Chain A
Amino acid sequence: DQQVKQNSPSLSVQEGRISILNCDYTNSMFDYFLWYKKYPAEGPTFLISISSIKDKNEDGRFTVFLNKSAKHLSLHIVPSQPGDSAVYFCAASEMGGGSNYKLTFGKGTLLTVNP
């Protein structure tokens, strides 16, 4: 039973356009959400996070939106650059329970940004 779902295995966009990666979750106890970026043969690197008390968090070209009622979050990358091509993982934890070390991951979405 997948608690964090990324239903799009891949996404292809043109350089300069917006990339939107989606993530759904089923566990109502999740209150902290993160996006990680992963290049081949490397470990995941943290990109951006959002607490359930917020509905939006921005960091440069990256914005994460959270819709708690729909149990849905999305990552927007504007403008997309070829260096953004990677696998993006959505992850969730129960921070209120003090468990930011126990992340539940989605299966990932491979983003390809074409020049």
Chain B
Amino acid sequence: NAGVTQTPKFQVLKTGQSMTLQCAQDMNHEYMSWYRQDPGMGLRLIHYSVGAGITDQGEVPNGYNVSRSTTEDFPLRLLSAAPSQTSVYFCASSSDLDTQYFGPGTRLTVL
């Protein structure tokens, strides 16, 4: 049982490049979420999903896309990276009767 896994751990992009941050969970959780954490800030919700095929926006969704084709995976896409998206990204999953479990994070730098 690996819990929540995220890849890559680190990534450096140039402005305008695109990339996908991967997130997978093996706990059969129906809910998955993406957060970003900036220095001196708490975690802020980007997008979330309540089940396969269902996603919705969180507090800071601009510049990010998500999709949920399976229960296990919830990738986060940056279509055109900007320096303001430099951050640490955390994926989390949960079920109705349980709290959120977080992955180890992806540290992204956009130059």
Write the residues of chain A forming the contact surface with B, with a CB cutoff of 8 angstroms.
Answer: 4, 6, 9, 34, 36, 41-46, 49, 89, 91, 98, 100-108
Contacts and interface: CB of A to CB of B under 8 A. Distances in A.
Nearest to A34: B99
A74 to B, nearest CB: 17
A103 B31 CA distance: 12
A49 B45 CA distance: 19
B103 to A, nearest CB: 5
**Chain B contact residues: helix, strand, loop or mixed:** strand
A44 B31 contact: no
A101 B105 contact: no
B24 interface: no
Contacts of A101: 31-33, 48, 50, 92, 94, 100
Interface residues of B, number: 26
Interface of B: 4, 31-33, 35, 40-45, 48, 50, 58-59, 90, 92, 94, 96, 99-105
A106 B42 contact: yes
Nearest to A44: B102
B16 to A, nearest CB: 28
Contact of B96 (A9, A44, A100, A102): A100
Nearest to A46: B99
Contact of A46 (B35, B41, B101, B103): B101
11 contacts: A42-B104, A43-B102, A45-B102, A46-B99, A46-B100, A89-B43, A100-B100, A101-B92, A101-B94, A102-B33, A105-B43
Q: Name the residue among A4, A9, A43 with the largest chain B CB count within 10 angstroms.
A: A43
